[in-house]
Amino acid sequence: MEYEAIIGLETHIQLNTETKIFCSCKADSWNDPPNTNICPVCTGLPGVLPVLNKAAVEKAVLLAHAMHSEIRPVSYFDRKNYFYPDLPKGYQISQYDQSLAHGGYLDVPMRDGEMRRVSIHKLHIEEDAGKTKNEQGRRLIDFNRCGVPLIEMVTGPDIRSAEEAAQYLIRLRQLLRWLGVSEADMEKGHLRCDANVSIRPKGADYLNPKTEIKNVNSIDAVRQAIETEIKRQIRAVEGGGKVEAWTLSWDEDSGTLSKMRSKETEADYRYFREPDLLPIHMDEAWKSEILAAFPELPLERRTRFMAEYGLPAYDADLLTAERSLSDYFEAAVSAYGGDPKRVSNWLLNDVMRMLNESGKTAGELRLTPQFLAEIIKMVDKGTVNTPTGKGLLEKTEETGKSPREIVEAEGLGQVSDSEAIRQICAQILADNPEQVARYRGGKTGLLGWFMGQVMRATRGKADPNTTRRILQELLDTSA
Ligand SMILES: [Zn+2]
């Protein structure tokens, strides 16, 4: 029997607001000692009242709009009641039946070029809980994360493989950063994912009980954990057993799943309306204010780059991986005025390496798009040769000076005067009679060695094409 997997993902996205969702404690405490960003509100002391952070709602609306979700004109907060040591209030403020948004989808390009549309069932705002850890036989609690604003987003059961789940997360992460609503760093817990997995005979239209995998903290872990769980369920069913609705925890180090508990049902949480908060009234005026600066999204921009600039999909994909890089590209193309593919090549080969090495984003470079365009133009015109042009990238980045200024100050202009090059070539041949004899004896690979000598003599400034032509002429004809 052949099986297919039915996978839905629940993601928790940490919004990158300055402060927490219901108090003015700092939201991001990644580098802070435990229990230093807390107050009576986020630790649930009696007699305090939560006040909603407007910025969290606005970021949630940006995300909902990007997911093509319908935003409710009025949405409510609810209490999700459960007991756990990292939840001092005894309930989490969340949204239940009337959440900020519902419906929508994310289109995910797959590796084979196909597009998979993953539906979004639910999108709501909630607060995070704290963290617990075991140390030397004791349970330690850190409340710093209590009250950090989260978006929980639940997909429909539309994902069919571990790889598709990974691609969904890659695109979601790209989108979150693009919109500027979350740092989306999985290692830091900004983007967390639980996976619901079930299997059924291929072609069947019913759903079997699903398991929920928790504690998957990287895209690779998601891929591996789902793969492992699909195989486990197939083995269970083929062995005559059944799959029970368990909650499983992924252990990254051993690559295994272990049972945490039987899955709770919603009734276990005794949801009811949060009495301390007013509903969110998202009127048209506020919504249009939030969406006024809504950007062109990565996939739209990718399509446009291919159509408008004639770029291959590969280039368009890389250039739109990150918003500031794609803005940089467009600014450089406009300053350059020539073939966009040429700008793409310089960016993807050389500037990308600088970005990777420095950890900067394209927008932070001192090598501005205008400076990059200037360098490419100088190479095109033969003012400098290609290796000098590449060297100029680093020099411009280091000094912040215009490439033209650097060329003038350092005398880097290319020697393209063929008479001058001819004299230098002739001198080098005269100085190296042995190599000349070997070349003429058939070792024509030595041409590269002669090229190197000319470049050394001119400090890299000789035009390579002219040099090669003259060297060949001198070596081949005076034999
Ligand atoms: Zn607080």
- Output the CA 18–ligand 1 centroid distance in Å: 12
Apex CA 183: angle with CA 357 and CA 166, to 5°? Answer: 85
- Output the CA 38–ligand 1 centroid distance in Å: 4
Q: What is the mean pLDDT of residues 340-346?
A: 97
- Output the CA 137–ligand 1 centroid distance in Å: 29
- Output the CA 23–ligand 1 centroid distance in Å: 5
pLDDT at 253: 85
Q: What is the mean pLDDT of residues 133-138?
A: 89
pLDDT at 333: 97
Provide the pLDDT confidence category of residue 325 given band limits of 50, 70 and 90.
very high
Q: What percent of the chain has pLDDT over 90?
A: 75
pLDDT at 429 over 70: yes
- Output the CA 51–ligand 1 centroid distance in Å: 11
Q: What is the mean pLDDT of residues 225-240?
A: 94
pLDDT at 264: 62
Provide the pLDDT confidence category of residue 370 given band limits of 50, 70 and 90.
very high
Provide the pLDDT confidence category of residue 361 given band limits of 50, 70 and 90.
very high
3-state class (DSSP) for residue 239: coil
- Output the CA 92–ligand 1 centroid distance in Å: 14
- Output the CA 109–ligand 1 centroid distance in Å: 40
3-state class (DSSP) for residue 229: helix
Where does 418-477 sit in CATH, by number? 1.10.10.410
Please state, in angstroms and rounded to a whole number, the distance separating the CA atoms of residues 249 and 254: 12
What ranges make up the beta strands (E) of 171-240?
A: 191-201, 211-216
- Output the CA 429–ligand 1 centroid distance in Å: 78
pLDDT at 48 over 70: yes
- Output the CA 192–ligand 1 centroid distance in Å: 22
- Output the CA 93–ligand 1 centroid distance in Å: 14
CB 407 within 8 A of CB 384: yes
Q: What is the mean pLDDT of residues 6-14?
A: 97
Provide the pLDDT confidence category of residue 446 given band limits of 50, 70 and 90.
very high
- Output the CA 80–ligand 1 centroid distance in Å: 19
Q: What percent of the chain has pLDDT over 70?
A: 97
Which of 47-51, 213-217, 304-308, 416-420 bottoms out in mean pLDDT, i.e. has the lowest? 416-420
Q: What is the mean pLDDT of residues 416-439?
A: 88
Provide the pLDDT confidence category of residue 255 given band limits of 50, 70 and 90.
confident
Domain ranges of the chain: 3-290, 298-410, 418-477
pLDDT tens digits for range 166-215: 999 999 999 999 999 999 999 899 999 999 999 999 988 888 899 999 97
pLDDT tens digits for range 447-478: 999 999 998 888 888 888 889 989 998 988 76
Provide the pLDDT confidence category of residue 76 given band limits of 50, 70 and 90.
very high
- Output the CA 139–ligand 1 centroid distance in Å: 22
For every residue of 341-384, DSSP letters joined together read HHHHHHIIIIIHHHHHHHT--GGG-SS-HHHHHHHHHHHHHTSS
3-state class (DSSP) for residue 1: coil
Q: What is the mean pLDDT of residues 102-115?
A: 90
Please state, in angstroms and rounded to a whole number, the distance separating the CA atoms of residues 224 and 248: 14
Q: What is the pTM of this model?
A: 0.83
Which of 129-133, 138-142, 258-262, 349-353 bottoms out in mean pLDDT, i.e. has the lowest? 258-262
Closest to 126 in 3D by CA, of 106, 102, 100: 100
Q: What is the mean pLDDT of residues 348-366?
A: 93
Closest to 151 in 3D by CA, of 181, 119, 185, 126: 126
pLDDT at 373: 96
pLDDT at 479 over 60: no
Q: What is the mean pLDDT of residues 60-68?
A: 98
pLDDT at 292: 96
pLDDT at 110: 86
pLDDT at 478: 60
- Output the CA 57–ligand 1 centroid distance in Å: 18
pLDDT at 477: 74
Please state, in angstroms and rounded to a whole number, the distance separating the CA atoms of residues 366 and 350: 15
- Output the CA 22–ligand 1 centroid distance in Å: 7
pLDDT at 268: 82
Provide the pLDDT confidence category of residue 265 given band limits of 50, 70 and 90.
low
Q: What is the mean pLDDT of residues 334-361?
A: 94
CB 325 within 8 A of CB 361: yes
pLDDT at 266: 66
- Output the CA 184–ligand 1 centroid distance in Å: 22
pLDDT at 276: 95
- Output the CA 87–ligand 1 centroid distance in Å: 13
- Output the CA 283–ligand 1 centroid distance in Å: 28
pLDDT at 341 over 70: yes
**Between residues 478 and 272, the one the model is more confident about:** 272
- Output the CA 21–ligand 1 centroid distance in Å: 9
pLDDT at 252 over 90: no
Q: Residue 366, Cβ neighbours under 10 Å: how many?
A: 12
pLDDT at 262: 65
Residues less than 5 Å from ion ligand 1, measured at CB: 23, 25, 39, 41-42
pLDDT at 112 over 90: no
